[in-house]
Amino acid sequence: MPGWVIAVLTEADGASRRLFFAVGFPDQGQAEWRALDAAAADAPVASGPRGGVEPVQALSVLSDAAMRRRGLLAGEVRALGEAWPRNWL
């Protein structure tokens, strides 16, 4: 079962920041919503695009092998932080 790397744009104190998540759901829409829920627990999610960046964006599909190598379980949502997740892409 594949997963996704999702970016979510948040806003706090007038500043935008992008949070990245690895999500163990095969459906892209469901993975985006799970990442959105996880980001909303940290900061308010942007209501629209900022500087050409969408509030929620699927960056890459994760293969089963990639999920196993990184220990991402089916149904898990893992916060990857604010830095570009190059090791996950």
Question: Alpha helices, DSSP H only, in the chain?
Answer: 28-40, 64-70
Q: List, for residues 40-79, the tens digit of each pLDDT value.
A: 998 899 988 888 889 999 999 999 999 999 999 999 999 9
pLDDT at 59: 95
Complete DSSP assignment for 4-27: EEEEEEEEETTEEEEEEEEE--SS
Percentage, residues of the chain above pLDDT 90: 76
In a domain, 42, yes or no: yes
In a domain, 40, yes or no: yes
In a domain, 89, yes or no: no
**pTM score, whole prediction:** 0.92
Residue 17 is part of which domain span?
A: 3-81
pLDDT at 37: 95
The amino acid sitting at 35 is A
**DSSP-assigned letter for residue 1:** -
Give the residue among 58, 70, 77, 67 at the shortest CA–CA distance from 2.
67
In a domain, 15, yes or no: yes
Q: What is the count of structural domains for the chain?
A: 1
